[in-house]
Amino acid sequence: MRRRAPRPLAAVLEAFTGSLAPPTLLAAVQGVWNDVVGEAIAAHCAPVGERGGVLEVVCDESVWAAEVELMGPELVARLSASLGRPEITSLRCRTDSGASPVFG
């Protein structure tokens, strides 16, 4: 019997961590958020909920919430393209006063 070659640890860990992520739309959005919105927005805004296609985004300042709200249709289109499915239909932004550990 021949021994199989060892598999790279990175491949095994990637498969394992992929199985740990919950199979929800919110988890999928959170997984692509930084790439879709860019570093500047991701540093100040984070997706925290989804209901009926409406993505809830929390921002650390009202100016960021207003900016993301204005960019909503563009971000929804980019998220849909990145996810390969148009399940997010709109964004709803709110400001967090800093009590949340979302922005760390």
Confidence of residue 7 (pLDDT cuts 50, 70, 90): confident
Specify the residue for token string 């790439």: 35
At 100 the pLDDT is 54
Q: pLDDT by residue (tens digit) across 72-97? A: 999 999 999 999 988 999 999 999 86
At 49 the pLDDT is 96
Domains and their CATH numbers in the chain: 23-95 (3.30.300)
For residue 79, which of 36, 30, 23 has the smallest C-alpha distance?
36
Question: Using CA of residue 77, residue 80, residue 84, residue 88, what is the dihedral sign?
Answer: negative
Residues 6 or more apart whose Cβ sits within 8 Å of residue 36: 75, 78, 79, 82
Amino acid identity of 61?
E
- Whole-model pTM above 0.85? no
- The span from the CA of 16 to the CA of 1, in Å, is 28
Confidence of residue 10 (pLDDT cuts 50, 70, 90): confident
Tell me the two tokens of residue 15: 């498969």
